[in-house]
Amino acid sequence: MSEVIVITSGKGGVGKTTTTANVGTGLAKLDKKVVLIDTDIGLRNLDVVMGLENRIVYNLVDVVEGNCRIKQALIKDKRYSNLYLLPSAQTRDKTAVSPEQMIKLIEELREEFDYILLDCPAGIEQGFKNAIAAADRALIVTTPEVSAIRDADRIIGLLEANDIRKIDLIVNRLRMDMVKRGDMMSIEDVVDILAIHLIGAVPDDENIVISTNQGEPLVGDSSMAGIAYMNICKRVLGEEVPFLDLNIKEGFLSKLGKLFK
Amino acid sequence: MKQSVVIKSNKYGLIVILDGELPFADLEREVAEKFRTSAKFFKNAQMAVTFQGRALSTDEEWALVEAITQNCEIEIMCILNENDLTEEAMRRAVEEHASVGGQDGKFYKGTLRSGQVLESETSIIILGDVNAGAKVISKGNVVVLGTLKGTIYVGAAGNEDAFVAALIMDPMQIRIADVIARKSDKQPTARERKKQEETPKIAYVEDGNIYIEPITKEVLGDIRI
């Protein structure tokens, strides 16, 4: 039984693509057969974050328009043989695909894969409608900022109106030091406003920037973000995993430094 | 006896008048025979062709063109409709099609950015960069006087002699005719990158593989255009 998950946020730049790459890779690590679909036609990124850009020959629009078979457009991941990417087209725009075509495409993929992850474009226009058309559940990504939360709230309303009931929240780019000082909203504050189930929180971690630039998702490694993403994957599978303590333990030297401030 | 195949020609074109009743297979044989016997009249000519006297399907037209080109040294540039058969029209058609390939070229000035596609029937010289996500497709050759980071497809009509040259050669994918090469998955170190940026390079096909070499007299000597 396969599950179709859309990763969406409303606002741009909060980490949808990074989350898609990491959750997808994490699920593949947990031995699931996974396909990632980049639905951001015209502004594709997922292939870059996955480090698979150099392998693209056909894309989503080619499949929908019948220029190639699905199998020809699916790119196998560098590291996991049970992970695939269906890249988006760069030279077209969102209107090249319709929600009906997405539903048909995903119906075909359902037979092959355990998890189908859709990386949604920012905004609530055609691209968003294409991405959510065939989704069973949604992961909402937000940062602890008022603007991102406002957009997330709008998106949740639209998803519910489209009969997607299973909606989980990921709070991304959290900085515990700022939360402690009272300069940033805490996870509790965000969950309070949005009133949906929290599936994970990811700290603001410079390793993310490094891994994104290198095209190697960091899920499952020993960095805070790597652990946080792995926990999210396990929770997606239905496991109970305790929440990570995001408070970074201060090293001896930094403590010593503070003493002399 | 009535001839089943009659050839008329001028400097730029052939008019082949076909029998309307003969079975196609016999007709094809006749055409082949006719051109074989008259091969010496048509040496190395580039011509347009038109078929008259019977309705042909596209497949049949191609079969006849094949029969012609295999039996003499005419290069058929295009198939014309019956309605425009003046010598002038044929000359124009032949010249239009003859420019396809490596010989002719044009310039393009500007940076090609992600999502932009530059397509050309002729060779192109780009005065600017080709960024990652951009694409250049040419039936001839491509020279980039800048950085090539995007996807490039030369010899798009199937010419394996086509080449790509760039001041800084770092393409996502190179396709020459039907041979494809892609960028390495490994990230180059800072030193490797610097070294790469120092030398202009050229990419070409040899024995079914794409080679990327610094531009030297020896390498250029082997390039065919």
What are the pLDDT digits (tens) for A52-91? 999 999 999 999 999 999 999 999 999 999 999 999 999 9
Determine the distance in angstroms separating the CA of B84 from the nearest CA of chain A, rounded to an integer. 34
Identity of the residue in A44, A54, A78 whose CB atom sits nearest the CB atom of B173: A54
The rounded distance, in Å, linking the Cα atoms of A250 and B3 is: 99
Q: Check whether A4 has a pLDDT greater than 60.
A: yes
Residue A110 has pLDDT above 70, yes or no: yes
* pLDDT number for residue B22: 84
Where would I find the beta strands (DSSP E) of chain B?
5-9, 13-18, 46-52, 75-79, 101-109, 117-120, 122-127, 135-138, 142-148, 151-154, 164-169, 173-176, 179-182, 201-206, 209-214
What is the number of structural domains in chain A? 1
Per-residue tokens: A85: 């990417």
Tokens coding B117: 């596609």
Using 50, 70 and 90 to split pLDDT, how confident is the model at A252? low
Helix (H) or strand (E) holding A107, with range, is helix A99-110
Residues B8, B17: contact at Cβ < 8 Å? yes
Place of tokens 């898609």: A20
Enumerate the β-bridge partners of residue B5. B18
Q: In the prediction, which pLDDT does B51 show?
A: 85
- Average pLDDT for residues B8-18, to the nearest whole number? 82
CA B32 vs CA A243, B7, B60, B69, B201: distances in Å? 80, 12, 13, 9, 46
Does B183 sit within 8 Å of A91, measured CB to CB?
no
Domain limits for position A120: 3-259
State residue B161's pLDDT score.
92
User: Which of A42, A54, A91 faces B182 most closely, judged by CB atoms?
Assistant: A54
Contact (CB<8Å) A55/B114: no
Of A54, A55, A91, the CB nearest to B115: A91
Interface check for B190 against chain A (CB to CB < 8 A): the answer is no
Provide the 8-state DSSP code for A220. T
Q: How far apart are CA A179 and CA A194, in angstroms?
A: 18
Q: What is the DSSP letter of B73?
A: S
Q: What is the pLDDT of residue B11?
A: 77
Smallest Cβ distance to A51: which of B114, B116, B185?
A: B185
pTM above 0.95, yes or no: no
| Chain A residues touching residue B173 (CB < 8 angstroms) | 54, 56-57
Tens digits of residue pLDDT in A199-212: 999 999 999 999 99
* pLDDT category of residue B82 using cuts at 50, 70 and 90: low
CA distances from A210 to A49, A144, A225, B148, B192 (A): 10, 22, 12, 24, 19
Q: Are A53 and B116 inside 8 Å of each other by CB?
A: no
pLDDT attached to residue B61: 85
Amino acid at position A26, single letter: G
B118-168 tens-digit pLDDT: 999 899 999 999 999 999 999 999 999 999 999 999 999 889 999 999 999
Closest chain A residue to B118, measured at CA: A91
**A-to-B residue pairs, Cβ atoms closer than 8 angstroms:** 24
- For chain B, the domains span 5-98, 102-222
Question: How large is the average pLDDT for residues B47-75?
Answer: 83
Question: Using CB atoms within 10 A of its CB, is residue A106 exposed (0-12), middle (13-18) or buried (19+)?
Answer: buried
CATH of B5-98, one of 3.30.70, 3.40.5, 3.30.750, 3.40.50: 3.30.750
- Give residues with Cβ within 8 angstroms of A204, minimum separation 6: A173, A174, A175
How many CA atoms are closer than 13 Å to the CA of A243, on its beta-carbon side? 13
**Judging by DSSP bridges, how do beta strands A75-76 and A83-86 pair with one another?**
antiparallel
Residue A170 vs residue B43, higher pLDDT? A170
Read off the CATH number of the domain in which A186 is found: 3.40.50.300
The H or E element that residue A199 is part of is: strand A197-203
- pLDDT for the residue numbered B98: 59
* Per-residue confidence band for B96, with pLDDT thresholds at 50, 70 and 90: low
d(CA B224, CA B208): 16
A54 touches chain B (CB under 8 A): yes
Per-residue model confidence (pLDDT) at position B174:
96
- What part of B 134-173 touches A (C-beta under 8 Å)? 135, 172-173
The type of residue at B70 is: Q
Residues 6+ apart with CB under 8 A from A210: A218
**A46 vs B26 pLDDT, higher one:** A46
- The tens digit of pLDDT for each residue in B164-194 reads 999 999 999 999 999 999 998 888 888 888 8
Domain B102-222 in this protein, CATH class: mainly beta
**Is any Cβ of chain B less than 8 angstroms from the Cβ of A214?**
yes
Mean pLDDT of chain B: 86
Asked if A53 has any chain B CB less than 8 Å from its own CB, the reply is yes
User: Which residue type does A214 have?
Assistant: Q
